[in-house]
């Protein structure tokens, strides 16, 4: 698939502020494909993955309106790596299909800018190897936990989720660029602008064939 755009993986860890970073990139003119949005699409009622999940995990993972209770399902799979693997085997192929369709649409439009694929487990899944560049969002451990607890308030669930993910220091070592989101919003904006300028330079170099 011939493409003019630079495909950039964007990842981090729970409560590192990846969504904030993603939104700043979007305001700078980048196209953002959000893996979580794709994941919600593939498990909507009527989709094949929805039926497969209910068959695997039972009707107890459904809400009253028939949609998936993602929080309940998450608590199950983050406590059991084997069951998490079964969930990923159901959802990941379908997410990859939708991702490929989005890329094809951008190729057909001859989009020639920066495309970010925002995905939390991109490194763990190995998909980061398919990106032109990798950006990792980090924060210090205390800030990460404080933000997560403020959002969800469940310390036990938080620790399970953090333990299930590769440590941020290891992710950062694989990155082409790191965004430190430990400070305030203005500091984060400055960090994203710095990385965005570097990615634009990479895109220019790619276009010129250097």
pLDDT of 75 reads 86
Does the pTM surpass 0.75? The reply is yes
SS (H, E, C) 127-170: HHHHCCEEEEEECCHHHHHHHHHHHHCCHHHHHHHHHHCCCHHH
Q: Tell me the CA distances in angstroms from 83 to 13, 73, 131, 149, one per residue in order.
A: 21, 10, 28, 25
Residue entry with tokens 């920066």:
114
Assign 68 to helix, strand or coil: strand
**Cα–Cα distance between 183 and 140 in angstroms, integer?**
10
pLDDT of 167 reads 87
pLDDT of 141 reads 80
What pairing do the DSSP bridges indicate for beta strands 31-34 and 114-118? parallel
Mind listing the pLDDT tens digit for each residue in 12-55?
988 888 999 999 999 999 999 999 999 999 999 999 999 999 99
**What residues of the chain score a pLDDT lower than 70?**
1, 152-154, 157-158, 164, 210
Are the CB atoms for 64 and 149 separated by under 8 Å? no
**Cα–Cα distance between 121 and 130 in angstroms, integer?**
14
Count Cβ atoms below 10 Å from residue 159 Cβ, excluding itself.
13
How far is C-alpha 127 from the geometric centre of its chain's CA atoms?
Answer: 11
What six digits make up the tokens of 146?
Answer: 């404080």
Are the CB atoms for 21 and 181 separated by under 8 Å? yes
**Cα–Cα distance between 19 and 21 in angstroms, integer?**
5
pLDDT of 89 reads 93
Q: Residue 15 gets which letter from DSSP?
A: T
What are the residues whose beta carbons fall under 8 Å from the beta carbon of 209, sequence distance 6 or more? none
**Cα–Cα distance between 177 and 196 in angstroms, integer?**
10
pLDDT of 187 reads 94
């Amino acid at each position: 698939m011939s493409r003019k755009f630079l495909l950039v993986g964007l990842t981090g860890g729970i409560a590192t502020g990846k969504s904030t970073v993603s939104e700043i990139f979007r305001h700078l003119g980048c196209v953002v494909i959000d893996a979580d949005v794709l994941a919600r699409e593939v498990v909507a009622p009527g989709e094949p993955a929805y039926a497969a999940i209910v068959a695997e995990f039972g009707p107890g993972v459904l809400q009253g309106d028939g949609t998936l209770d993602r929080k309940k399902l998450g608590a199950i799979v983050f406590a059991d790596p084997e069951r998490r693997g079964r969930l990923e085997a159901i959802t990941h192929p379908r997410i990859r299909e939708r991702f490929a369709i989005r890329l094809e649409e951008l190729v057909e439009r001859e989009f020639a800018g920066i495309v970010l694929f925002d995905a939390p487990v991109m490194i763990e899944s190995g998909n980061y190897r398919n990106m032109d560049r990798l950006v990792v969002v980090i924060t210090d451990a205390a800030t990460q936990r404080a933000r997560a607890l403020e959002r969800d308030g469940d310390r036990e669930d938080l620790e399970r989720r953090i333990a299930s993910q590769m440590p941020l220091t290891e992710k950062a070592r694989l990155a082409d660029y790191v965004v430190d989101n430990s400070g305030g919003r203005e500091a984060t904006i400055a960090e994203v602008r710095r990385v965005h300028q570097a990615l634009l330079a990479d895109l220019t170099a790619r276009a010129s064939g250097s």
